[in-house]
A and B are shown apart, each in its own frame.
Chain A
Amino acid sequence: MYGGDEVSAIVVDLGSHTCKAGYAGEDAPKAVFPSVVGAVDGVEAMDVDADSAKNNSNSEDSKTNESDKEKGKRKLYVGSQALNYRRDHMEILSPIKDGIVSDWDLVDNIWEHAFRGCLMIDPKEHPMLLAEPPLNTQQQREKAAELMFEKYKVPALFMAKNPVLTSFATGRATSLVVDCGGGSTTISPVHEGYVLQKAVVSAPIGGEFLTDCLLKSLESKGIKIRPRYSFKRKEVRPGEFQVEDVGVPDTTESYKLFCQRMIVGDIKDSICRVPDTPYDDKSYANIPTTSYELPDGQTLEIGADRFKIPDVMFNPSIVQTIHGMEKYGDMIPTVRGLPHMVMESINKCDVDIRRELYSSILLAGGTSSMQQLKERLEKDLIEESPHSARVKVLASGNTTERRFSVWIGGSILASLGSFQQMWFSKSEYEEHGASYIQRKCP
């Protein structure tokens, strides 16, 4: 590689839906798993005193334990393998709320799983590159730095913002990044490698929101999505299966929802398409349906929902027509569609760079690989934008690249020779403290 010089750095991108981790210099992350943690609270039958005594002795050797950690009364399970196994009373918890980290304990567990469980490295030997959301607060960054240096004892650290990494992944220093992720959609302009923070626009509509919409819509039509653990298929006659319900009374609601979301998420990925024109019930009433077979053998016929759900991104007020989603009704009026958010973000920037931003709009994130999203966005933007600005929406053809574009950008950045002078090293941390990160990682 021309500008490359490997120092075997590790790139970690903790998103709201999945966590991606891997070696810098590679073209895809090795460890990809859902960024939620299954927590089983201690069983109530145990004696409180005996419990605390036992837990105290356990906490010393808890560090050697791979994926289980006993902290207080809680056992945590991380990783897709652990999560796919149904356990009684297991609650699904997410550390990220509204795009920022709310529970550092869970984050710690997730990182631990990534390093020791998936990548099998010792963090002491590798500099770390972390990807963070563009509107991250100073406090969050300091906490992350502290956790990394104190607990994992990394030699060097750098925190880069997601849109900057996406921009580097496509080889540009100035662009407008439309990141349609799991938890939210964020539009941020990047100018010469720095995010213009005052022009970042964010909306809480993301892939998970769309999955929820689809789930509620299917439920309101009477279709019951059975999570995988709740049924058994028995072969009654050769080729014919009979479905039996397995009674699992102790499963928590959040786990059930998690499993249902996995199934519906797959439906969304495979079937949903963004309509070419704004959705309205009349014109899509007679659309031919597509069939999808659920794991329990049921066949779904999905017609208008195929187009209705993705159009929520462009026209959030559609959500109010879906049964079961009324609780979002008060939030919706403030949220505008995707093209409007793009225009808003660009108009908040300085006039000189607007033209350049218009001609390099990048799509990133898992939700952006929905079919026809790029074409629809381009069409809407060309209509709304001024004539003199050439609008160009770029997205890599490969869906893997779109999903992991932040990680890939980090991989590129951490393996550049001229980046090696920018690491925030342990000695600097010890000398200046965690707040120095603000200076070092712009």
Chain B
Amino acid sequence: MGGTDAKDILGLPKTPLSLTQEKKSRPQKESHRKPDGISREVYALTGGVAPLMPSIDVTHLKRPPPHDEKVAWQWLPVKSSARKDDLQLYHWVRVVNDVPPTGDYSFAKYNKSVDVLKYTDDEYENHLTDPVWTKEETDQLFELCERFDLRFTVIADRFPLSRTVEELKDRYYSVTRALLRARAQSPAELANHPLIKEPYDMTRDRERKRALSMVLSQSRHQEKKDAEILAEAKRITEMRLAARNSILIILSIKRLVFLDVQRAAEPDVPANENIGSVSPSSNSQLPATAVAPSTLTMADYASTLASLRMLHVYLRTYGLEQMVQAASSAVGLRTIKRVEQTLQDLGVNLKPKVPTKTVCDEHLELRKEILTLLNLQKQLQYKESEGSSHREGTYAAMPDTPKDRVFASEPFSFGAERPIKKEPKRKGPGRRSDTPSPAHKRPRKLKASDL
């Protein structure tokens, strides 16, 4: 209907099909006629069809009230069965034909309460005595239970003596159970009563509440600490796990090495001295470096080994890169740059031109030694400054102890497991005799040429 109206308004020509449609729609229109009482436009707003669910019966809207009924509103007293006294409150009541509505006050049905068992004194004497609870207390408890409809939290709040909610519940349920048992004719009818089927267990309730209170009473601060501790513990376990793994891998390497060594009949390779020192002429595919990691941790070493082994076939430069990366993963960017700087100073290419096995191994070892060197230098400077400040502080200073101790305490970073077998070209930093004497005020810089 709206469509044709729009076309009319716009002045569009009607298509020939629409004529037939119009003819068809007209009889349809008849049955779709708008109901009386609302205007056409309003009806069209709803989509032009009757609503799916009848909302308001439109005919009722305009229907005048029937003449035989007389509706008035009167201010009449309330009659309610919920009140036991004769309080007269007034409210507006829809009165039809001067006949006030009969029946109880409509809200009286909401006056429900819990039926709490009442006991007589005899029953109390016979069944319900308890060492902890006196009769007065029990009476009070039951009175409060009735007043507050068994809301034990509120009852515990209003109970004159301070008893916990669990104690009150326990007493109430045990008394009721005892009463039920005493009053029942046969035990069979009781078996389905909820109180008998599932008795209240005070200790379990207490435990539950204790656990809940522990969860809820932790302050944020404590929770943060707990979270930190847990994270720390996790980290430690992971480290241990990794260490254990690496040890396993290294042990397996050792075994292989040992076998290889036996096979190759190489003399004097004490396998247990340096696990990483596999002779270059071994047949194994292991790209083991000649030296033990100086600054590498065992875990890194093992992991790179493992990753390379997975590849089975790889370019040596790639392997070298991996090892270099592994070696330098533990140090900062600046140190890496210094290593590279030192390499350049020495005239060594950052990447070896001819990457044979020996060359790569040597390169790696060189890098590691430079790292160690830099580390040492830093340590030295630090200790010198400490020593000088110490000296200034106390004249009778003993500056040699800290330094020596430093050098003595950092054996692992020096590659103490340095193999006896070394290329004669380089000397390891393991020599301690060259530490500058404490009398030197200026920290003597260890130069590469010293090595």
- The chain A residues found within 8 Å of chain B, CB to CB, are 3, 5-8, 127, 155-156, 191-192, 194, 196-199, 347, 349-355, 383-389, 416-418, 420-421, 423, 425-428, 431, 439, 442
- The chain B residues found within 8 Å of chain A, CB to CB, are 78, 80, 82-83, 85-92, 105-108, 110-111, 147-148, 151, 153-154, 156-158, 165, 209, 212-213, 215-220, 223
What's the least CB distance linking B397 to chain A, in Å? 42
The answer to whether B212 touches A352, judged by C-beta atoms less than 8 angstroms apart, is yes
The answer to whether A191 touches B153, judged by C-beta atoms less than 8 angstroms apart, is yes
| CB-CB nearest in chain B for A8 | B90
**Which B residues touch A427, using CB under 8 A?**
85-87
Query: Which listed residue, A5, A199, A351, A354, touches B107 by the CB 8 Å rule?
Result: A5
C-alpha gap A183/B218 in the complex (Å): 33
What's the least CB distance linking B266 to chain A, in Å? 62
**Which B residues touch A353, using CB under 8 A?**
153
A–B Cβ pairs within 8 angstroms, 10 of them: A8-B90, A191-B151, A192-B151, A194-B151, A351-B212, A352-B209, A385-B220, A386-B217, A417-B107, A442-B158
| CB-CB nearest in chain B for A198 | B157
**Which B residues touch A425, using CB under 8 A?**
83, 85, 87
C-alpha gap A426/B87 in the complex (Å): 8
C-alpha gap A190/B110 in the complex (Å): 22
The answer to whether A418 touches B111, judged by C-beta atoms less than 8 angstroms apart, is yes
Query: Which listed residue, B82, B157, B212, B218, touches A199 by the CB 8 Å rule?
Result: B157
What's the least CB distance linking B387 to chain A, in Å? 41
The answer to whether B216 touches A388, judged by C-beta atoms less than 8 angstroms apart, is yes
What 4 A-B pairs come out closest when comparing CB atoms? A417-B107, A421-B82, A425-B87, A418-B110
| CB-CB nearest in chain B for A439 | B147
| CB-CB nearest in chain A for B213 | A351
The answer to whether B157 touches A386, judged by C-beta atoms less than 8 angstroms apart, is no
The answer to whether A386 touches B223, judged by C-beta atoms less than 8 angstroms apart, is yes
What's the least CB distance linking A73 to chain B, in Å? 41
**Which B residues touch A423, using CB under 8 A?**
83, 87, 89
| CB-CB nearest in chain B for A197 | B157
The answer to whether A383 touches B220, judged by C-beta atoms less than 8 angstroms apart, is yes
The answer to whether A7 touches B91, judged by C-beta atoms less than 8 angstroms apart, is yes
The answer to whether B86 touches A7, judged by C-beta atoms less than 8 angstroms apart, is no
**Which A residues touch B92, using CB under 8 A?**
6
C-alpha gap A388/B209 in the complex (Å): 15
The answer to whether A127 touches B89, judged by C-beta atoms less than 8 angstroms apart, is yes
| CB-CB nearest in chain A for B144 | A442
Query: Which listed residue, A352, A420, A431, A439, touches B78 by the CB 8 Å rule?
Result: A420
Q: Are A421 and B90 CB-contacts (below 8 A) given A385-B220, A386-B219, A386-B220? A: no
Q: Are A196 and B154 CB-contacts (below 8 A) given A383-B220, A384-B219, A420-B89? A: yes
The answer to whether A388 touches B107, judged by C-beta atoms less than 8 angstroms apart, is no
| CB-CB nearest in chain B for A190 | B154
